[in-house]
Structure 1
Amino acid sequence: MNGYPRDMFEEMDEIFDRLFSRMNQDLMNGRPQVSGFRIIIDGGDLHTPVQDNREIPSRTATSPVAEVHRIDDEVKVITELPGAAKDSIRLDVQGSVLSIDADGVTTPYHTTADLPMVDVGSMQSTFRNGVLEITFRALAEEPASV
């Protein structure tokens, strides 16, 4: 790709061709379909990962987006788990990574979120209308050494 608009559109056409091919394969195999979009507004001081979706991985679990927000002295992680049962949700923190797993009506869910410095023992969660919200008490960030 040399940066000209024509090349960008050709690349987009190739991406859409792969997406539609994958959707047709999934439909033929009777797999459930998940569609949607996400909007990321990065107005805070937390890192927002950029994902390159050129490769469409085969998946056995749906990977919802987990949003991480720092609000005053709290860190909130929010994700959607439509059709999941509250008692099927499993949360695990290893180091600075929160893993979220749940069983949905038609598909299992798995996602992770990178956490800033938090008090893991303060973790509280609520699950209403398919939306999981996990709250931690934020810890002071270590000052960068010069």
Structure 2
Amino acid sequence: MRRDDRDEPFDDLFREIERMMNDMMKGANVEFESSAGTVDTGFGTDTHVDVHDTDTEIRVVADLPGVEKDNIELECDGKTLTISARSDHREYDERVSLPRRVNEHTASATYNNGVLEVVFEPAEQSSGISLE
């Protein structure tokens, strides 16, 4: 059999991997497509989120490529940070479990060159109650 030089040698393999990934991810609202098409897999595939916990702060750093600052919404309930963002091609929606309770009222956020950074102060520990 003669191979056409315009064919990619690994097309069949990649199509099979994509089919298996789609079967595995059914119900997860994720769609993998070949490199010929667009990949619209949302938050998490080309986005990286790091959480850093020190004695004085909890820092969340997330990559949000292609997103404008005005299209980012942040919410925190003290235990979970919700990051919602959208660009022309993607929507990101991520809930980040924080390693410990934070004071969400002290949060500060910056966004520069596609990198979101949110810093929280840890919540004060509750006081002990003495019995009299």
Kindly provide the amino acid, as one letter, of the partner of residue 62 in structure 1.
F
Alpha-carbon offset, residue 104 of structure 1? 1.8
Aligned Cα RMSD in Å?
3.0
- Paired residue secondary structure (1:19): helix
The TM-score normalised by the length of structure 2 is: 0.62
**In the alignment, does 2:83 pair up with 1:100?**
yes
Query: Does 1:75 pair with 2:77?
Result: no
Q: Is the 8 A contact 2:110 2:118 kept in 1?
A: yes
Deviation at 1:20, TM superposition (A): 8.0
Write the distance in 2 (CA, Å) between the matches of 1:120 and 1:90.
14
Tell me whether 1:87 sits opposite 2:65 in the alignment. no
The structure 2 residue matched to 1:19, chosen from 18, 21, 31, is 21
Give the Å deviation of 1:95.
Answer: 4.7
Q: 2:101 aligns with which of 94, 117, 126?
A: 117
Count of residue pairs brought into register by the alignment = 100
Query: Unpaired runs of 5+ in structure 1?
Result: 1-14, 35-58
Bigger helix fraction: 1
Is the 2:78–2:102 contact (alpha carbons within 8 Å) kept by the matching residues of 1? no
Residue 113 of structure 2 corresponds to 129
Give, in angstroms, the shift of residue 18 of structure 1.
1.2
TM-score normalized by structure 1? Answer: 0.57
Shift of 1:90: 0.3
Structure-2 separation of matches of 1:69 and 1:28: 34
Query: Is 1:66 the counterpart of 2:49 in the alignment?
Result: yes
Residue 47 of structure 1 aligns with which residue? Answer: none
Task: Percent identity, please.
Answer: 27
Gaps of 5+ in 2: 1-15, 24-30, 127-132
Distance in structure 2 (CA, Å) of the matches to 1:83 and 1:91 = 17
What letter matches 1:66 in structure 2? V
- Residue 88 of structure 2: SS of its match in structure 1? coil
